Chains A and B, each alone.
Chain A
Amino acid sequence: MSPLSSPHLHAPLDTPRLMRLVVAATLPGLVGLLWNFGWGPLINVLLASVFALGWEATALWIRRRPVSFTLADSSALVTGVLLGLALPPLAPWWLVAVGTFFAIVVAKQLYGGLGYNPFNPAMVGYVVLLISFPVEMTTWFTPRELLPEGVALPGLGESLSRVFLPGAQVSPADAFTGATPLDLFKHQTGLLVEQIYAAYPLFARAELAGYGWEWVNLGFLIGGAFLLAQRVYTWHAPVGMLLGIALPAALFYDGGSSESGGSPLFHLFSGATMLGAFFIVTDPVTAAASRRGRLFQGLLAGVLVYLIRTFGNYPDAVAFAVLLTNFAAPLLDHYTLPRTYGHRRARRGTEKIDG
Chain B
Amino acid sequence: MADQPGRVAAQGLWHNNPALVQLLGLCPLLAVSGSVVNALGLGLATLFVLTASNLTVSLIRRVVPDAVRIPVFVMVIATLVTCVELLMRAFTYELYQILGIFIPLIVTNCVILGRAESFASRNPVGLAALDGFAQGLGFALVIVAVGAIRELLGNGTLFANMALLLGPPAADWEIRIAERGLLVAVLPPGAFLVVGLLIALKHRIDTGLKARAAARGQAAPAASRRVRTTGAIH
> Are A131 and B193 touching (Cβ within 8 A)?
no
Q: Which residue of B lies closest to A134 (CB)?
A: B183
A-B contacts, 12 listed (Cβ < 8 Å): A98-B182, A106-B193, A128-B182, A128-B184, A131-B183, A131-B184, A131-B187, A132-B182, A132-B183, A132-B184, A133-B183, A134-B183
Docked Cα-Cα span, A131 to B193, in Å, equals 15
Interface mask (B132-170 → A, CB under 8 Å = 1, otherwise 0): 000000000000000000000000000000000000000
Number of residues in A with C-beta < 8 Å to the partner? 7
9 additional A-B residue pairs with CB within 8 Å, beyond A131-B184, A133-B183, A134-B183: A98-B182, A106-B193, A128-B182, A128-B184, A131-B183, A131-B187, A132-B182, A132-B183, A132-B184
Q: How far is the CB of A258 from chain B (nearest CB, A)?
A: 34
Docked Cα-Cα span, A128 to B182, in Å, equals 9
Q: Which residue of A lies closest to B193 (CB)?
A: A106
Docked Cα-Cα span, A132 to B193, in Å, equals 14
Q: Which residues of B contact A106 (CB under 8 A)?
A: 193
Within 8 A of A (CB), among B23-46: none
Interface mask (B191-209 → A, CB under 8 Å = 1, otherwise 0): 0010000000000000000
Docked Cα-Cα span, A156 to B187, in Å, equals 37
Residues of B within 8 A of A (CB): 182-184, 187, 193
Q: How far is the CB of A338 from chain B (nearest CB, A)?
A: 34
User: How many pairs of A and B residues are in contact by the CB < 8 Å rule?
Assistant: 12
Docked Cα-Cα span, A132 to B187, in Å, equals 9
Q: Secondary structure at chain A's binding surface: helix, strand, loop or mixed?
A: helix
Q: Which residues of A contact B184 (CB under 8 A)?
A: 128, 131-132
Q: How far is the CB of B182 from chain A (nearest CB, A)?
A: 5
Docked Cα-Cα span, A257 to B57, in Å, equals 68
Q: Which residues of A contact B183 (CB under 8 A)?
A: 131-134
Q: How far is the CB of B195 from chain A (nearest CB, A)?
A: 14
Q: How far is the CB of B154 from chain A (nearest CB, A)?
A: 9
Q: How far is the CB of A133 from chain B (nearest CB, A)?
A: 7
Q: Which residues of B contact A134 (CB under 8 A)?
A: 183
Q: How far is the CB of A281 from chain B (nearest CB, A)?
A: 22
Docked Cα-Cα span, A98 to B183, in Å, equals 12
In order of increasing CB-CB distance, the 8 nearest A-B pairs are: A132-B183, A132-B184, A132-B182, A128-B184, A131-B184, A131-B183, A131-B187, A98-B182
Q: Which residue of B lies closest to A98 (CB)?
A: B182
Q: How far is the CB of A125 from chain B (nearest CB, A)?
A: 11
Among A106, A131, A132, A133, chain B packs the most CB atoms within 10 A around the CB of A132
Q: How far is the CB of B214 from chain A (nearest CB, A)?
A: 19
Docked Cα-Cα span, A98 to B187, in Å, equals 17
Docked Cα-Cα span, A133 to B193, in Å, equals 18
Q: Which residues of B contact A131 (CB under 8 A)?
A: 183-184, 187
Q: Which residue of B lies closest to A133 (CB)?
A: B183
Docked Cα-Cα span, A128 to B187, in Å, equals 10
Q: How far is the CB of A112 from chain B (nearest CB, A)?
A: 13
Among A98, A106, A128, chain B packs the most CB atoms within 10 A around the CB of A128
Interface mask (A130-157 → B, CB under 8 Å = 1, otherwise 0): 0111100000000000000000000000
Docked Cα-Cα span, A161 to B187, in Å, equals 32
Q: Which residue of A lies closest to B153 (CB)?
A: A132
Docked Cα-Cα span, A134 to B183, in Å, equals 9
Q: How far is the CB of A33 from chain B (nearest CB, A)?
A: 26
Docked Cα-Cα span, A148 to B55, in Å, equals 76
Docked Cα-Cα span, A147 to B182, in Å, equals 33
Within 8 A of B (CB), among A76-91: none
Docked Cα-Cα span, A106 to B189, in Å, equals 12
Q: How far is the CB of B6 from chain A (nearest CB, A)?
A: 35
Docked Cα-Cα span, A165 to B182, in Å, equals 19
Q: Which residue of B lies closest to A131 (CB)?
A: B184
Docked Cα-Cα span, A131 to B187, in Å, equals 9
Q: Which residues of A contact B193 (CB under 8 A)?
A: 106
Within 8 A of B (CB), among A97-126: 98, 106
Docked Cα-Cα span, A106 to B184, in Å, equals 13
Docked Cα-Cα span, A66 to B11, in Å, equals 38
Docked Cα-Cα span, A128 to B183, in Å, equals 9
Docked Cα-Cα span, A98 to B193, in Å, equals 15
Q: Which residues of A contact B182 (CB under 8 A)?
A: 98, 128, 132
Q: How far is the CB of A196 from chain B (nearest CB, A)?
A: 32
Docked Cα-Cα span, A62 to B182, in Å, equals 24
Q: Which residues of B contact A133 (CB under 8 A)?
A: 183
